[in-house]
Amino acid sequence: MEIAVGLAAVAKGFYGRGWLWGTSGNLSAVVQREPLRLAMSPSGVDKGELTAPQVLEIDDHARIVGAHKGKPSDESLLHIRIVKERSAGAVLHTHSIWNTILSDRYAADGGVKIEGYEMLKGLQGVRTHEHTEWLPIIENSQDMPALAETIGKTLNEHKDAHGFLLRSHGLYSWGETLAQAKRHIEILEFLLEAKGRTGV
Ligand SMILES: [Zn+2]
């Protein structure tokens, strides 16, 4: 499956940048919409070594479609919710050092405000560095159905957001295509690190 090859390539690249260490993070892309089928990275797999045959296909209840020994990521329900809320074609989730630090540092504000950077123009629909990007921060939880609900509500409240942070956990972003989702993660990771290093 071409989509699985694409997810494995993105995983390898992100792993090399230190955004998916220790089997953390997960990646998905829409295979078909009606009924919804997602290609999804499996749980507990080293993302630097992820291969296309390890990629699972799941339905909109995060159940595996077809015969596969892999286990879907616990966070599959979050991917499904984002795909539905944003009509996304791909959802990517990273656990970088900087997104983890900032997701806690700005938690009391409810989000991270990023403005003035040229790199903001890499986000879909943004034409100028004068754009203000607000990345909402959501409290982390192991209750995935409840967390999916909170994410749905947050995405509705922040219709222009290109991503969000789970507190002390990581970053989610998405795109119409896998290429766009990858670009959004790269841009947001860059911006979070720039903001984190300068402390403003
Ligand atoms: Zn995670």
**Integer Cα distance of 104 and 89 in angstroms:** 29
- Note the helical H segments in the chain: 2-16, 76-86, 97-105, 144-157, 178-198
**Ligand 1: centre distance to CA 128 (Å):** 31
Kindly give the distance from the C-alpha atom of residue 94 to the centroid of ligand 1, in angstroms, as a whole number: 7
CA of 137 to the centre of ligand 1 (A): 14
Q: What percent of the chain has pLDDT over 90?
A: 94
Q: State residue 1's pLDDT score.
A: 75
Q: How many other C-beta atoms can be found within 10 angstroms of the C-beta atom of residue 89?
A: 19
Cα(94)–Cα(82) distance, integer angstroms:
15
Question: For 140-168, how does the pLDDT look when each residue is reduced to its tens digit (9 = 90+)?
Answer: 999 999 999 999 999 999 999 999 999 99
CB 163 within 8 A of CB 171: yes
Owner of token pair 């998405």 = 174
Burial 90-128 (b: 16+ CB within 10 A, else e): bbbbbbbebbbebbeebbeeebbebeebeebebbeebee
What confidence tens digit (pLDDT) does each residue in 56-98 have? 999 999 999 988 888 888 899 999 999 999 999 999 999 999 9
Q: Kindly tell me the sign of the dihedral angle through the C-alpha atoms of 147, 154, 112, 188.
A: positive
Q: Given this model, what pLDDT does residue 70 score? A: 85
Q: What's the gap in Å between 164 CA and the centre of ligand 1?
A: 12
Distance 130 CA to ligand 1 centre (A): 31
- Reported residue count of the chain is 200
Ligand 1 centroid to Cα of residue 111, in Å, is: 18
Q: Grade residue 113 by pLDDT with cuts at 50, 70 and 90.
A: very high
- Inter-residue contact 187 to 122 (CB < 8 Å): yes
For the entire predicted model, the pTM comes to 0.96
Report how far residue 117's alpha carbon sits from residue 134's, in angstroms, rounded to the nearest whole number: 13
Q: How far is the CA of 1 from the centre of ligand 1 (A)?
A: 25
| Distance from the alpha carbon of residue 119 to the mean position of ligand 1, in angstroms | 25
